[in-house]
Amino acid sequence: MEERLKLELHDRKPSDVEDLILDNCKATSISGLSEEFTNLQTLSLINIGLTSLDGLPKLPALRTIDLSDNKITGGLEKLIESCPRLYHLNLCANKIKDIDTLVPLKKLSELNAIDLFDCDVTKVDNYREKVFEALPQLKYLDGFDINDVEAEISDGEGEDGLGGEGDGLSDEESEGETGDEENGVGLDYLNSSEALKDEDESEDFAPEENGDGKGKARGTKRKANGEDKEAPPAKST
């Protein structure tokens, strides 16, 4: 991980870095990161083999962390100490088995969205109700609110899979215009690329996949005037 960090820094100072992607660099614990990353807002640690959050430094500006496809079983209280302003947490495909493991996250007062797809905890009876009860500050769980209404995002949202710049919003901004409060919701359930321009209404199209491979098409556009029909034959004179 240390070598990957050097590559990602590109001679920048840690304090200049706002977004950091360390996906697929194999490590069982976090190493190389330090408290010098004072302005880091987005951190991606996908599929690196993490079994715990040991080594995670204090990152006071961090808004989004993607820990998906790892082997984390617990120890989430580390996030409270290290990331007090966390807005979106992605734990998809980890080893989270029960609701109690999530309870410490209650202390993250700004936590807005959490993703738990492919975790064993999703098999618990009344899983959604229990998570919202355990984390009352939460607005979105796996892309849907407590009333099963799907999250929406505004056009121009970041394409990094972690909500992009929207995660750095202030509290007032994130609760303001419609769609802004959903910024930071993960791409496991949202296609956050710029809205596609309308194609010729006579042709179907499917939304393009995000560059990170996680975007999910919502279906194809219907033809505006139904199926094409053959023109009737000309009447003979």
**Residue 103, token pair as written in the block:** 């309870």
Answer whether 69's CB lies under 8 Å from 47's CB: yes
| 158 inside domain | yes
| 209 inside domain | no
| 202 inside domain | no
| 133 inside domain | yes
| 17 inside domain | yes
| 124 inside domain | yes
| 194 inside domain | no
**Three-class HEC string of the chain:** CHHHHHHHHCCCCHHHCCEEECCCCCCCCCCCCCCCCCCCCEEECCCCCCCCCCCCCCCCCCCEEECCCCCCCCCCHHHHHHCCCCCEEECCCCCCCCHHHCHHHHHCCCCCEEECCCCHHHHCCCHHHHHHHHCCCCCEECCECCCCCECCCCCCCCCCCCCHHHHHCCHHHHCCCCCHHHCCCCCCCCCCCCCCCCCCCCCCCCCCCCCCCCCCCCCCCCCCCCCCCCCCCCCCC
Alpha-carbon distance 209 to 33, whole Å?
A: 31
CATH code, domain carrying 121: 3.80.10.10
Q: Containing domain of residue 161, as a range?
A: 2-182
Q: Write the single-letter amino acid at 148.
A: D
The one-digit pLDDT tens for each residue of the chain (237 residues) are: 888 998 999 889 999 999 999 999 988 889 999 999 999 999 999 999 999 999 999 999 999 999 999 999 999 999 999 999 999 999 999 999 999 999 999 999 999 999 999 999 999 999 999 999 999 999 999 999 999 999 886 433 333 333 444 444 344 444 444 344 333 344 443 333 333 334 444 344 444 444 444 444 333 333 333 444 444 555 544
Looking at the structure of the chain, the number of domains it has is 1
| 197 inside domain | no
pTM of the shown model: 0.67
Alpha-carbon distance 144 to 214, whole Å?
A: 17
